[in-house]
Amino acid sequence: MNFDFSEEQKLLQKTARDYLAQHCGLDVCRSVLESNGTHSDALWKGVAEMGWLGAAVPEEYGGAGFSRLELALIAQELGRALAPIPFGPSAYLVSEALLEFGSDEQKKRYLPRLASGELIGTFAHSERAGRSALADVATVFARGALSGVKFPVPDGAIAGLALVVAKGDAGPLLALIELDGQGIEVTPVGSIDPSRPASRIAFDGARAEALANGGGEKAIAHLLDRAAVLTAFEQIGGAERALEVTREFTLHRYAFGRPVASYQAIKHRLADIYAAIQLATSNAYYGAWALSTAAPELAVAACGARIAASEAFDLAGKDIIQMHGGVGFTWEYDCHLFYRRAKLLSLALGTPGEWRDRLIDRLEA
């Protein structure tokens, strides 16, 4: 059996890499940090024009009509570039939720705007930092209105549409709310990665609507599984780039008359990162297969992809700083960009610890 991507898919990935190399060097991410901005608007428009925001959206809703495999490869390249845009919440969660659980009317109303980049989506799940368990959800959806507080919400200050996890009369559900309405207060909060800012959003009887088929714990868990696989590819892309930057630096930095990379201790650490990335890639490929074929193995595969990719990027993000020596801790070098993004993505859908618990529960079920 052939478990690799097709030549057409690899060509799409190369096109994405070439485009981002030209339009999204690490200086773009740094410029967002230094300007106290929220994202790169030029890159967002460019990505929309390339059709990536609607990669997995059917053509009838204004998308490119690709499969989730193409979306995964695009995610990997965005991760390599540390793209400072709200791609993940909008494409992996809001668009996916509409495709899976939305009514025809909801799809027609929102998907074309999300695919074109006109509308930015966000996912409001957590109600306290580092936790995403449904047991922690106190936000209430009743009689077409939302009340409660979500924190932290990724890209909440620039999003126009939020997908909110809330408690309904029959249990947890997914609700859609446009963030320009009454009864909504958005407050920016600090983030370890300011190029992907967060917000606190308070709802006070704000008008909203439930996704047509987005009720119940299973639906929410399924959405998170899908997003976990796609986010894993983004994390792998970041880890690969961090390894490349570290290897290049250690090959050209000399100590005692020889390259730092020639010392065994450095070789071992580089090898550890490489091994972690390969393990994560294997898990992510399994998850991508399960996602693209709607296989029942997705529930377990998503956990493996999420855990392995988080560990790989976290290791690469820490070691890039240490193997750069003293300069690795300075603002002038790009090491902190990888560290910031690694930490942010490891918490984006719940901590790796939560996903380990979820994996154990599913394997025992």
- Which range marks the domain in which residue 15 is found? 7-116
185, 206: one domain:
yes
The residue from 93, 116, 139 where one domain ends is 116
Parallel, antiparallel, or unpaired: how do β-strands 121-124 and 161-168 relate? Answer: parallel
CA distance 330 to 321: 9
- Of 155, 187, 214, the domain-final residue: 214
Q: What does the pLDDT read at residue 165?
A: 95
1 domain-assigned = no
Task: Determine contact, residues 139/127, Cβ cutoff 8 Å.
Answer: yes
pTM: 0.95
pLDDT tens per residue across span 293-350:
999 999 999 999 999 999 999 999 999 999 998 899 998 899 999 999 999 999 989 8
The residue from 83, 116, 149 where one domain ends is 116
When divided into structural domains, the chain yields a total of 3
CA dihedral 356, 358, 360, 365 (to 10 degrees): -170
227 assigned to some structural domain: yes
Which amino acid, residue 175?
Answer: A
Write out pLDDT tens, residues 53-77: 999 999 999 999 999 999 999 999 9
* Three-class DSSP category at 328: helix
**Residue ranges of the alpha helices (H) in 140-216?**
none
